[in-house]
Structure 1
Amino acid sequence: MNHTSSLDNEADYSDDFDFTAEPSAQSCENLTVPNELAGLRLDAALAKLLPDYSRSRLTGWIKDGAVLLNGKRAQPKDKLVGGEVLEVTIVPTEENQAFAAEPMDLDIVYEDDSVLVVNKPAGMVVHPAAGNWHGTLLNGLLHHCPALAQVPRAGIVHRLDKDTSGLMVVAKTLPAQTQLVQQLQARTVKRVYRAVADGIVPFDGKIETQIGRDPHNRLKMAVLPFGGKEAITHLQVLERYHNHSYVECKLETGRTHQIRVHMRAARHPLAGDPVYGNPRHSASDEVKAAVKSMGRQALHAYRLSFVHPTSGETVSFEAPMPADIYHLLSVLRLEAGLDSSLNHADTGQTPAGGQDDDDWDDDDYDVEVVYVRD
């Protein structure tokens, strides 16, 4: 099969990123206006004296009273003659303040001097961004390991959607981060997800498409006929039920919302997906209640394997299915007359009947998606 509201995602960081050098708390700058700036407005002079800050930000500080001219509150348009004393209170941005340590309970699966592996719960944003400046995984990591403040992105090298649970690896040193990023680029980090999809997925295979921003909705991603980035997902059906399938998805690439978009484009969106899902999918009242109770897409990063950046050995970790998805699977298995324990999934299980929503309107996706057998 050839796919958030905020585009916080199961993607890899492809661009270098460094924390801003601004202080995380207020500080004060005392400046004397040089004679060569005589005749300039205060806001223009400040832009030259403090080039690390934008003109609009400096103007805002002046209007907020954070800039004193010879001990008195000033206005942006005040003209300078040279020799004035400026007292500027440097006010950190909300974004800068977001990179602060916050105590929280993190499910650390593994940790040593180079890396840690965390099992992220659903509902947690990975990285601070507009609307989510606090309470993110990054904030918790900085509290758990203060030394991560010296590593770009606090050591985070790949991400998960806010409402996707599961495993992530975090580098504790810059060399380890560089090594892991290289592995991601070489596609040697193995990431396996488990999910519940709508409908009866016909067989195992590979979804290979291009993915980019949806031309009809810039807050979503979509399969594109051209102009997107290569996206490859390997799919295996673990079990089939009346109207759903339990699947395993192995990422070869790590595009934004890749699994969610691929399953959506293949007409088997993930159960409960609020962005790419099908709210009209046919199901019993019990199954609908289980899906609704999740309040998220049924997607979990189940297994993670990579070459340890220090030892050179391949290490692998697994995180059990979270309670909400486990409950949905139990309901589906009971309804299909299967053992609800999930301890021995029959990957060749044939569903006792089942249907796809053939009348589901799919006009937004005019790209034909085919299953390519591995």
Structure 2
Amino acid sequence: MSTTHSQPIQLSAEVPFELGGQRLDQVAARLFPEHSRSRLATWIKDGQLTVDGRALRPRDTVHAGSRLELSAEQEAQGEWQPQDIPLNIVFEDEHILVLDKPAGLVVHPAAGHADGTLLNALLHHVPGLINVPRAGIVHRLDKDTTGLMVVAKTLEAQTRLVEQLQKRTVSRIYEAIVIGVIITGGTIDAPIGRHGQQRQRMAVVEGGKPAISHYRVLERMRSHTHVRVKLETGRTHQIRVHMAHLGYPLVGDPLYSGRFRIPPAANPTLVQSLRDFPRQALHARFLELEHPVTGQRMKWESPLPDDFVWLLTLLQQDRGAFVG
């Protein structure tokens, strides 16, 4: 069965004295804050949001005492099918859910991944998400990146979380194992855009979107470093591109790590584990944000996955074998 149904929205409000004389789109954003400004502007242009029964333009002035009436359909957002795919949910209430994503799970349907994605799993868990843009997904993790993600369960929560991400008040901290020994932490401020020749890759390019990552060293091995990276922006592949740009690509990264390098005199188990590590060694470890409805600051932590811990252990043993 297809899930393309729509949900009627009926709202009305009187323009209070302090908002009189302002533009319709600004007043609507104040009176109906659970909907984004762009969505409201579309409804105004379509005549679904009226003032005293009349259709106006977004820039038209409205007067105190006028009545805004919204009669619209919140269209279902796609032809996506709910699928019963298990989710590791670490927090959930009626507004948001926070989950711990495993490696190998694609977040959003795309070419080559029409289903079997996190989005399909979310629609099975919360059927009402079909009426929220992108089924409530406000930020993504790459297919093989593990760790914490927040999902909005309502339009209001989605609008608020997107605002927080734009204002950079959501704290997202990752851990990674990179190739090479980093001496000290720092900040990478380098714009990211599509790679000129290889379209599936991103790169640091002039004229790309601003991208800022803060990194610090957690532990140094003989030929690798365990780092923590805090995102200030959220560009596609940002950590993977930034660390490779710095000369310290992530272990196991098929797109950005380049030629495989063997640590000198390392034991065969470590060499094999590094060569066969099945994904980029990247984990979304901490997530902190303001609850979109209560405003309470909330924080979650996800333990490092087993494959990441095993590789760290081998690297620590390797370092120990060469000390002294």
TM-score tier (shorter): 0.7 to 0.9
Matches within 5 A, 1:220-231: 220-224=201-205, 226-231=206-211
* 2:158 aligned with 1:174: no
* 2:282 aligned with 1:299: yes
Q: Whole-Å Cα distance in 1 between the matches of residues 293 and 307 of structure 2?
A: 36
How far did residue 248 of structure 1 move? Answer: 0.3
How far did residue 254 of structure 1 move? Answer: 0.5
Q: Whole-Å Cα distance in 1 between the matches of residues 78 and 169 of structure 2?
A: 33
Letter in 2 for 1:159: R
Q: Secondary structure at the match of 2:106?
A: coil
Q: Whole-Å Cα distance in 1 between the matches of residues 250 and 151 of structure 2?
A: 27
**Is the contact between residue 163 and residue 297 of structure 1 (CA under 8 Å) also seen in structure 2?**
yes
How far did residue 252 of structure 1 move? Answer: 0.3
- Give % identity: 51
Q: Whole-Å Cα distance in 1 between the matches of residues 225 and 123 of structure 2?
A: 38
Would you say how many aligned residue pairs link Structure 1 and Structure 2? 250
Determine which structure has more spread, i.e. the larger CA radius of gyration: 1
**RMSD, aligned α-carbons:** 2.1
How far did residue 281 of structure 1 move? Answer: 1.7
By relative contact order (CA 8 Å, sep 6+), the higher-ranking structure is 1
Q: Which runs of 5+ in 2 are unaligned?
A: 7-76
Matches within 5 A, 1:226-245: 226-245=206-225
Q: Choose from 221, 237, 242 the match for 1:257.
A: 237
TM-score, normalised on structure 2?
0.74
Q: Whole-Å Cα distance in 2 between the matches of residues 332 and 166 of structure 1?
A: 22
Distance 1:268 1:127, change over 3 A: same
Counterpart residue number, 2:294? 311
Counterpart residue number, 1:185? 166
TM-score, normalised on structure 1?
0.64
**Is the contact between residue 82 and residue 121 of structure 2 (CA under 8 Å) also seen in structure 1?**
yes
For each residue in 1:266-311, what CA deviation from the matched residue of structure 2 results, as whole angstroms up to 9, or x when unmatched? 1100001000013322323322322344310000000000000111
Q: Choose from 314, 337, 358 the match for 2:320.
A: 337
Counterpart residue number, 1:321? 304
Q: Whole-Å Cα distance in 2 between the matches of residues 352 and 236 of structure 1?
A: 23
How far did residue 148 of structure 1 move? Answer: 1.1
Q: Choose from 100, 110, 118 the match for 1:137.
A: 118
For each residue in 1:165-202, what CA deviation from the matched residue of structure 2 results, as whole angstroms up to 9, or x when unmatched? 11000001000000000000000100000000000012
How far did residue 96 of structure 1 move? Answer: 5.2
* 2:143 aligned with 1:162: yes
Letter in 2 for 1:269: P
For each residue in 1:215-241, what CA deviation from the matched residue of structure 2 results, as whole angstroms up to 9, or x when unmatched? 1212211111x2111110000100000
Q: Whole-Å Cα distance in 1 between the matches of residues 238 and 316 of structure 2?
A: 27
Matches within 5 A, 1:200-239: 200-224=181-205, 226-239=206-219
Distance 1:307 1:263, change over 3 A: same
Distance 1:197 1:131, change over 3 A: same
For each residue in 1:18-54, what CA deviation from the matched residue of structure 2 results, as whole angstroms up to 9, or x when unmatched? xx99679xxxxxxxxxxxxxxxxxxxxxxxxxxxxxx
Q: Whole-Å Cα distance in 2 between the matches of residues 252 and 172 of structure 1?
A: 24
Q: Whole-Å Cα distance in 2 between the matches of residues 173 and 22 of structure 1?
A: 17
Letter in 2 for 1:121: P
How far did residue 352 of structure 1 move? Answer: 5.5
Letter in 1 for 2:274: V
**Is the contact between residue 290 and residue 327 of structure 1 (CA under 8 Å) also seen in structure 2?**
no
Q: Whole-Å Cα distance in 2 between the matches of residues 286 and 266 of structure 1?
A: 28
Q: Whole-Å Cα distance in 2 between the matches of residues 159 and 204 of structure 1?
A: 25
Q: Secondary structure at the match of 1:218?
A: coil
Counterpart residue number, 1:31? none
